[in-house]
Amino acid sequence: EAGVVQSPRYKIIEKKQPVAFWCNPISGHNTLYWYLQNLGQGPELLIRYENEEAVDDSQLPKDRFSAERLKGVDSTLKIQPAELGDSAVYLCASSGSLNTEAFFGQGTRLTVV
Amino acid sequence: GEDVEQSLFLSVREGDSSVINCTYTDSSSTYLYWYKQEPGAGLQLLTYIFSNMDMKQDQRLTVLLNKKDKHLSLRIADTQSGDSAIYFCAGRGGSQGNLIFGKGTKLSVKP
């Protein structure tokens, strides 16, 4: 069974440019998370989806970040415009109907220069 | 909200046992997790424990939960070089709650 797939693995952009990350969760998983991991820190939740509904986006900086999960399957996280402080690893995770185990993708490492 | 604390570093010799500790603040945390992260990789779920359990064993891994002290530990028996990684403790308040992570403990295994 394929795990959580994220792309790209690495992205380098100039500040003020837009960037998008893509995540395909494990098949059949209704819950999808986007986490931000700064260097030397634990992951911090940005947004959680139940199917296509964003049930917790309280930590998403909505002035520049947006996310969508239109058909309740794969999801896109966008930053526009990117700032130097956005350099981090962006992790996607998914969990099934019981929501007891969350499985993570490999992450996208973003560098803003 | 939940706050999860871990010591940042642990160094052990190959073949010894490693014990990684974690404390959490939210007494309503229903599930507690241990994840492993190797350099450049995502987080790998190692094991989790329900709050109504005191101990869970899975091969070389033993999880101990002290609900009174809000203390969770992960013991790795016969630690190997491949166990070198960062280990994250995480708590979740119920099936609808979010995973809240500690800052991670970096385990170094010396020959």
Band (pLDDT 50/70/90 cuts) for residue B40 is confident
Quick check: B78 and B21 in contact, CB under 8 A? Answer: no
Give the separation between CA B46 and CA B65, rounded to whole angstroms. 15
Q: Does A41 touch chain B (CB under 8 A)?
A: yes
Give the separation between CA B103 and CA A79, rounded to whole angstroms. 25
Of B43, B96, B102, the CB nearest to A91: B43
When mean pLDDT is compared across A12-16, B42-46, B96-100, the lowest value belongs to B96-100
Model pLDDT, residue B106: 97
Q: Does A4 touch chain B (CB under 8 A)?
A: yes
Quick check: A99 and A46 in contact, CB under 8 A? Answer: no
| pLDDT tens-digit map of A20-55 | 999 999 999 999 999 999 999 999 999 999 999 999
| pLDDT tens-digit map of B65-111 | 999 999 999 999 999 999 999 999 999 876 567 889 999 999 999 99
Q: End-to-end alpha-carbon separation of chain A, Å? A: 37
The better pLDDT of the pair A75, A99 is held by A75
Model pLDDT, residue B5: 93
Q: Distance, in angstroms, between B53 CA and closest chain A CA?
A: 15
Q: Does A48 touch chain B (CB under 8 A)?
A: yes
Model pLDDT, residue B29: 79
Model pLDDT, residue A1: 64
What are the Cα distances from residue B61, in Å, to A7, A80, B49, B51, B53?
32, 43, 12, 18, 15
Model pLDDT, residue B95: 56
Q: Does B24 touch chain A (CB under 8 A)?
A: no
Of A33, A42, A100, the CB nearest to B48: A100
Q: Does B53 touch chain A (CB under 8 A)?
A: no
Model pLDDT, residue B30: 83
Is B98 close to A56, i.e. CB distance below 8 A?
A: yes
Chain A residues inside the 8 Å CB shell of B42: 4, 6, 91, 104-107
